[in-house]
Amino acid sequence: MPESRPELPRRGRRRWLWVFVLLLLAAGGGYWYWSKNAATTAPAGRGGFPGRGMAGMAVPVKVATVESGPIAYTLRAIGTVTAFKTVTVRSRVDGELKKIAFENGQKVQEGDLLAEIDPRPYQVQLDQALGQQKQNQAQLQNAQRDLQRYQLLYKQNSIAKQQVDAQAALVQQLQGSIKSDQAAVDSAKLQLSFTRITAPITGRLGLRKVDEGNIVNASNTEGIVVITQTQPISVVFTLPQAQLPDVLAQLRAGNKLAVELYGRDDLHKLAVGELASVDNQIDVATGTVKLRADFPNEDESLFPNQFVNVRLRVATTQALLIPTQAVQQGSIGAFVYQVGEGDKVHIQPITTGLIDGRVIAVQSGLEAGQRVVIEGVDRLREGAQVEVVTGNAAAAAAAPQAAANSGPGAGGRRAR
């Protein structure tokens, strides 16, 4: 009896193990049978396995036709709007600021009065110089009359030659004094004119930096106000040195290169101008060169120190064009989904060229008139049947498939 007792538990464990294995097999078979029936009976776009449930259905897509047309060779950069001229208006004489004749932000013309400095001290200096000039002029006139008398007496042998020469020297001395007096008068007039501060250029004023009643000095570097010329205005930007030869070739040929400016979103066009000049050296630290373009800025949409997106149009060529969104990238390189006969697509490798905004040039792989898919490519594969839709119909038709692809049990596989 003691030797037979251990065999009973072993037989019981084996029996339960076989029961457990049979239950697992039954459960697996049932799950497989249920999954197969669910995949074949589930309606399109409502759960299940969408890859199989959508089999045989046409994929709604939007297409574009390959066209032949001009495409611009455009260089892109980020530029800074720079005032055509910037002048800090400073006083050229010392004195009390008696009058401010402008408003902050006002637009002024060259020669407009901006401010006045107390002119009285400079008027006194001018009057003093004029008085000295009058005095010397009277002395000169008297000396010239004496010289005429001496010359007449000398002809009559009544006086010595030395006396005539001395009088002639006195006349020349007084003539020199008259010139000095005239210079003093002109200097006093100039200093007096500096008490009226006028606009040196046409432009727009900034905020004034000093108020009436303050004493201003010619040595003050801050100035009274700053004028910026914004019509026309310029934009400074940089390009890599590798792109410089293409630009210089056009400039040396006498061609004017158009420059377009866009806002921060790179969509809204701000202004159109021309390339004005290229810097005479390349920055060795960055390998770039500075360029400047000029713009009329008639509507004053450009503001000094504003950052803008620059598009420099170097040249325009003819090529086959398709939307950039039609081009896909894969292990074979660039390719498109071309819609062929019977609205079936196939993968077509292409060689791309210039890109101008939303259009790209195709150098090889396509012909004019062919159709390529621009929307719905993520649900396509070689030989897939498509349904060409237009406008908002593409999004509406794609909604059921998108819901199916994101439903329970949906996979993330892209059919390509």
Q: In sequence order, what E strands does 22-112 have? A: 59-65, 67-89, 95-100, 107-108
Please give the mean pLDDT across all residues of the chain: 84
| DSSP secondary structure code for residue 16 in this structure | H
Q: Is residue 393 within 8 Å of residue 60, measured between CB atoms? A: yes
Q: Is the pLDDT of residue 271 over 60?
A: yes
The predicted structure's pLDDT at residue 306: 94
Give 280-304 pLDDT, tens digit per residue. 999 999 999 999 999 999 988 999 9
Would you place residue 12 in the very low, low, confident or very high pLDDT band (cuts 50, 70, 90)? low
The predicted structure's pLDDT at residue 11: 59
| DSSP secondary structure code for residue 385 in this structure | B
Q: Is the pLDDT of residue 50 over 70?
A: no
Would you place residue 393 in the very low, low, confident or very high pLDDT band (cuts 50, 70, 90)? very low
Phi then psi for 257, rounded to 5 degrees?
A: -100, 125
The β-bridge partners of 274 are: 258, 294
The predicted structure's pLDDT at residue 209: 93
The CATH code belonging to domain 74-84+228-317 is 2.40.30.170
Q: Is the pLDDT of residue 87 over 80?
A: yes
- Residue 128 to residue 134: CA distance in whole angstroms: 10
What is the pLDDT averaged over residues 86-102? 94
Give 331-340 pLDDT, tens digit per residue. 889 999 999 8
Would you place residue 409 in the very low, low, confident or very high pLDDT band (cuts 50, 70, 90)? very low
The predicted structure's pLDDT at residue 35: 58
- Residue 279 to residue 206: CA distance in whole angstroms: 29
Give 317-333 pLDDT, tens digit per residue. 888 999 999 999 988 89
The predicted structure's pLDDT at residue 43: 40
Q: Which of 273, 312, 313 is nearest to 290 (CA)?
A: 312
Give 143-159 pLDDT, tens digit per residue. 999 999 999 998 988 88
Q: Of the ranges 156-160, 259-263, 355-359, 407-411, which one carries the lowest mean pLDDT score?
A: 407-411
What contacts 305, CB < 8 A, 6 or more positions away? Answer: 80, 81, 82
Q: Of the ranges 197-201, 215-219, 250-254, 408-412, which one carries the lowest mean pLDDT score?
A: 408-412
Q: At what angle do helices 161-193 and 120-155 cross, to 10 degrees?
A: 160
Q: Is the pLDDT of residue 61 over 80?
A: yes
Tokens read off for 56: 């045989």
The alpha carbon of residue 65 and the mean position of all alpha carbons in its chain are separated, in whole angstroms, by: 33
The predicted structure's pLDDT at residue 280: 92
The alpha carbon of residue 10 and the mean position of all alpha carbons in its chain are separated, in whole angstroms, by: 86
Q: Which ranges of 156-242 does DSSP label H, i.e. alpha helix?
A: 161-193
The predicted structure's pLDDT at residue 10: 57
Would you place residue 232 in the very low, low, confident or very high pLDDT band (cuts 50, 70, 90)? very high
The predicted structure's pLDDT at residue 358: 85
Q: Is the pLDDT of residue 241 over 90?
A: yes
- For the chain, what percent of residues have pLDDT higher than 90? 60
What is the pLDDT averaged over residues 263-267? 88
- Residue 351 to residue 334: CA distance in whole angstroms: 7
- For the chain, what percent of residues have pLDDT higher than 70? 84
Tokens read off for 83: 């005032």
Q: Is 23 exposed, middle or buried (0-12, 13-18, 19+ CB in 10 A)?
A: exposed
What is the pLDDT averaged over residues 203-220? 92
What contacts 353, CB < 8 A, 6 or more positions away? Answer: 71, 319, 360, 361, 362, 363
The CATH code belonging to domain 58-69+319-403 is 2.40.420.20
